[in-house]
Amino acid sequence: MRHSLNLDIVSLEVHGFPYSETMSHPVALSARKRQATRERIAETAADMVGEHGLAKTTVDKIAEAADVGRATFFRYFSSKENAVAEGSTRRWLDLITATIAHQPPDLSAHDAVLSAFADLGDGFAEISDQVGDLATLTRSSPVLSAWTLMIYVDYENAIAELVAPRFADLTTDDPRPRLIGALAMSSVRIALDDWLSHGGNLPDRVRDAISSVAIR
């Protein structure tokens, strides 16, 4: 049986539900509840597919296990593959964006992303098996792979927003933040493929891929 990731991370506004610790704001609290429901459904879907396989996991079974109705499931996800893909990738990708967000402000956009993966390497051994299971799961189905790529685009945009302020000469239509986001997520995807095939250290592989292309 596969175990879900249990990481202490910062939730960013990646899926449209911003995180806020201000309990006095009803809108923020409502958004947090919606985000919690979305996360529970996604993680339940990924856990069930990891244990029973994609074919034997239905929307009705996911909804029942997540303690929501079928209509609520489709309020958040368009298919079981959509939910599984998010549940299989969200925590690892949230960890990446949170680590980028906490880099020193004097670093360039490119160096901040490189430094983030250096920081991720410190504790990666503790979660490497789990990340490997999740990555293998998403590669088990062409439909899951397609949904995962769509989720990666969300994180490309999140990274772009995080690094944009690091460009002192940023213009309105400057492509560099999005290029940094695309480079980071492409590096994650390629590094995951190589890591699953050949082993090694995943954060190091990602950092090597990013450092091979400089965007200043």
Within-domain flag for 84: yes
Do 133 and 143 meet the contact criterion of CB atoms below 8 Å apart?
Answer: no
* Residues 4-54: tens digit of each pLDDT: 333 333 334 444 434 333 333 455 888 888 989 999 999 999 889 888 888
Structural domain including 140 reads 26-211
Q: How many separate domains does the chain show?
A: 1
* Residues 47-88: tens digit of each pLDDT: 898 888 888 999 999 999 999 999 999 999 999 999 998 888
**pTM of this structure:** 0.74
Structure letter (DSSP) for residue 165? G
* Through-space distance between the first and last CA atoms of the chain, rounded to whole angstroms: 44
Within-domain flag for 47: yes
Task: Please give the Cα distance from 45 to 208 (Å, whole number).
Answer: 33
- CATH number of the domain within which 105 lies: 1.10.357.10
